[in-house]
Amino acid sequence: MVRSSPEDLTESYHRARSGCVIIDRSTVGRIWAHGPDRLDLLHRLSTNNLNGMTQHEGRPTVLTTPLGRIVDYLLVLNLDKRALLLTSPGKSEAVQQWLCGFIFFQDDVTLQAATTELGQYGLYGAQASSVASQLAGAASKLPPHHALPLGESAWLLRGAAPAGFGYELVATPPLMEKCIARTMEAGAVVAPAGLHELLRVEAGLPGAGHEIDASFIPLEVGLREAISFTKGCYTGQEIIARMDTRGKLAKTIVGLRAQQQLPVGAALRAAGSIAGVVTSSVHSPRLGWIGLGMLKPTVAGSGVKLAVGDSEPALQATVTALPFDS
């Protein structure tokens, strides 16, 4: 859809830190939820309070198993007579099937795949707010997770940006072409899809298939914003509430710095004992080799030295506060 060739990763990275980049986010899953019971269904099945949502308001939430493990992280955007669910990349079909398993005869809800019907691009960087204002003058005042309509089937959504101010463009292909053209006229440049992963790790945000995984519960990976502790019952609520009340997590997300690439899946060892695992790894043009890991809280303090993997001599990593700029 975007006809301009993307810059290379390093150029795009520096452009994001000073300007604005456009990244193809078409792998994000998109599902329509129709019917008057759409929000009630999602409210009773996920971690956040979805009652009382206004039109064009979005709220993050998490689907969890009875043991509190992550099924997926969603953004629920309430629109006129329907809701748009944004899933993790590649998880649309699995999430739709999971939700359908909890729709009963009294529920007036229909789920419909929207990943093909709608495209998605991200606007990220220090000047993203200025560029987005060329699409909608009120973009800079848009609260997090809220959307502005740009047409009958196009929305500008303020998201959790991996770099500075960030927005998501969701639209049908003809409207997306027009929106992208306007952002490029305003100074945005096309960046490779891999830049999103780099910016995500630098920001310390959990990612699908890395930290957003059935091995972990939402509190462990830093998704507290997507959890209501007052809404009452949902699948997995008892486990999550108990861990919050006790203040004791089995693992916590941490930043890692190293002199070499951190192998994803490698064990993290403290004093010879396995204390965690590497979950994400990237090379930053500014910071060098960095990553994210899930680590026992007792050894998760900033500056703690860890051995990575089983090789001799062992690769060393240092625990770092998140985000990496902090």
Which CATH number does the domain housing residue 119 bear?
Answer: 3.30.1360.120
The mean per-residue pLDDT over the stretch 246-266 comes to 95
Residue for token pair 């502005």: 148
Over 80: is that where the pLDDT of 223 sits? Answer: yes
The band of 162, judged by pLDDT with boundaries at 50, 70 and 90, is low
Residue among 106, 131, 113, 112 at smallest CA distance from 121? 131
- Based on the fold, state whether residues 258 and 153 are members of the same structural domain: no
**Number of other residues whose CB lies within 10 A of the CB of residue 1:** 10
Range of the domain at 209: 202-320
For the segment 310-326, what is each residue's pLDDT rounded down to a tens digit?
A: 877 889 999 999 999 75
pLDDT score at 6:
57
Over 90: is that where the pLDDT of 259 sits? Answer: yes
- Based on the fold, state whether residues 111 and 230 are members of the same structural domain: no
The band of 164, judged by pLDDT with boundaries at 50, 70 and 90, is low
Over 70: is that where the pLDDT of 5 sits? Answer: no
pTM, 2 dp: 0.94
Residue 231 domain-assigned (yes or no): yes
Residue 325 domain-assigned (yes or no): no
Residue 119 domain-assigned (yes or no): yes
Answer whether 248's CB lies under 8 Å from 240's CB.
no
- Which of 167, 199, 231 terminates a domain? The answer is 199
- Based on the fold, state whether residues 34 and 178 are members of the same structural domain: yes
Length of the chain (residues) = 326
Over 90: is that where the pLDDT of 7 sits? Answer: no
Residue 1 domain-assigned (yes or no): no
- Based on the fold, state whether residues 228 and 187 are members of the same structural domain: no
- Range of weakest confidence among 134-138, 143-147, 309-313: 309-313
- Based on the fold, state whether residues 27 and 175 are members of the same structural domain: yes
- Based on the fold, state whether residues 279 and 163 are members of the same structural domain: no
173: which 2 tokens?
A: 């292909």
Q: What is the dihedral of CA 169, 33, 118, 212, to 10 degrees?
A: 60
For the segment 168-197, what is each residue's pLDDT rounded down to a tens digit?
A: 999 999 999 999 999 999 999 999 999 999
- Based on the fold, state whether residues 185 and 230 are members of the same structural domain: no
How does the average pLDDT of the chain come out, rounded? 93
Over 90: is that where the pLDDT of 128 sits? Answer: yes
Q: Does the N-terminal peptide bond of residue 323 adopt cis geometry, omega within 30 degrees of 0?
A: yes
CA–CA separation, 318 and 316 (whole Å): 7
Q: Is the dihedral of CA 263, 264, 265, 269 positive or negative?
A: positive
- Based on the fold, state whether residues 155 and 53 are members of the same structural domain: yes
- Which of 199, 226, 250 terminates a domain? The answer is 199
Residue 185 domain-assigned (yes or no): yes
- Based on the fold, state whether residues 112 and 214 are members of the same structural domain: no
pLDDT score at 160:
67
For the segment 225-249, what is each residue's pLDDT rounded down to a tens digit?
A: 999 999 989 999 999 999 999 988 9
- Range of weakest confidence among 4-18, 21-35, 42-56, 115-129: 4-18
How crowded is the C-beta side of 234, counted as CA atoms within 13 Å? 28
What are the phi and psi torsion angles at 85 (to 5°)? -105, 125
Residue 266 domain-assigned (yes or no): yes
The mean per-residue pLDDT over the stretch 14-39 comes to 95
Q: Is the dihedral of CA 41, 46, 52, 58 positive or negative?
A: negative
The mean per-residue pLDDT over the stretch 283-300 comes to 97
Domain count, the chain: 2
Over 80: is that where the pLDDT of 274 sits? Answer: yes
Over 80: is that where the pLDDT of 59 sits? Answer: yes
Q: Does the N-terminal peptide bond of residue 313 adopt cis geometry, omega within 30 degrees of 0?
A: yes
End-to-end CA distance of the chain: 36
- Based on the fold, state whether residues 186 and 249 are members of the same structural domain: no
- Which of 199, 217, 251 terminates a domain? The answer is 199
CA–CA separation, 131 and 16 (whole Å): 12
- Alpha helices by DSSP H, the chain: 9-18, 38-45, 92-100, 128-132, 173-185, 194-203, 237-246
Sheet harboring 82-89: ordered strands across?
58-64, 70-79, 82-89, 28-34, 110-113
- Based on the fold, state whether residues 62 and 83 are members of the same structural domain: yes
Residue 154 domain-assigned (yes or no): yes
Which CATH number does the domain housing residue 291 bear?
Answer: 2.40.30.160
- Based on the fold, state whether residues 72 and 87 are members of the same structural domain: yes
The mean per-residue pLDDT over the stretch 127-138 comes to 94
Residue among 53, 59, 80, 227 at smallest CA distance from 145? 59
Residue 27 domain-assigned (yes or no): yes
User: Who's near 225: CB < 8 A, 6+ residues apart?
Assistant: 60
Residues linked to residue 100 through DSSP beta bridges, in sequence order: none
